[in-house]
Amino acid sequence: MAVVEPPFGTGRRIRNRAIWAVALFAASVAPAVVGLGIAKATEEATNLAQPLALLFWIIGLLFAIAAAVPTLRYWDGLPGTTRWLGTLPLLSISLLLTVALLTPLLI
């Protein structure tokens, strides 16, 4: 099987998308914590922090998918560091979602 050479700039696009995914996932943590505190402390119906956290997380998920697709497509032609950088944001999110889904079953 022949190794498919990735087009010029693919590694840079993968790195940029993966970095943005991690940054957006990290940016969603603070609004989620604040929104959870607001939801538990007050009876106020308007809570802007939770939708903002969800928006950051969804945009981060889109960037993670956009980094993982070309990484998997050109896996054999990419350097090892770019391979893992392109796949780790999506792998970490899938791991966290799996843990979040299994935790209520085990407790």
Each residue of 61-94: pLDDT tens digit? 999 999 999 999 999 999 999 999 999 999 988 8
Burial of 11 (0-12, 13-18, 19+ CB in 10 A): buried
Q: Does residue 14 lie within any of the structural domains? A: yes
Q: State the average pLDDT for the chain.
A: 88
> Which carries the bigger pLDDT value, residue 11 or residue 4?
11
> Which carries the bigger pLDDT value, residue 2 or residue 6?
6
- Its pTM stands at 0.84
Between CA 58 and CA 62 the distance in angstroms is 6
Residue 106 predicted with pLDDT over 70: yes
- Domain extent, residue 69, equals 10-106
Q: Does residue 59 lie within any of the structural domains? A: yes
C-alpha distance from residue 62 to each of 1, 25, 79 (Å): 31, 11, 23
How large is the average pLDDT for residues 49-59? 91
How large is the average pLDDT for residues 43-60? 86
Q: How many domains does the chain have?
A: 1
Between CA 68 and CA 86 the distance in angstroms is 5
Asked if 71 contacts 12 with a C-beta cutoff of 8 angstroms, the reply is no
Q: Does residue 4 lie within any of the structural domains? A: no
Q: Does residue 22 lie within any of the structural domains? A: yes
